[in-house]
Amino acid sequence: MTFRKIFASNILFLLAAIIFFIVGVRYYISADTIGAILSFAIVVLFLIGYIRQIKYNKPKRKK
- CA distances for 9 relative to 23, 51, 52, angstroms: 21, 11, 11
For the question of whether the overall pTM of this predicted structure is more than 0.75, the answer is no
Q: Which amino acid is at 59?
A: P
What's the mean pLDDT in 54-58?
68
**Taking each helix axis from N to C terminus, what angle separates 33-56 and 3-29, rounded to the nearest 10 degrees?**
160
> Mind listing the pLDDT tens digit for each residue in 17-34?
788 888 888 888 888 788
pLDDT of residue 5: 58
What's the mean pLDDT in 41-55?
79
* Closest by CA position to 24, among listed 42, 12, 8: 42
Per-residue pLDDT band at 58 (split at 50, 70, 90): low
Question: Residue 44 and residue 1: Cα distance in Å, rounded?
Answer: 25
Question: Residue 15 and residue 5: Cα distance in Å, rounded?
Answer: 15
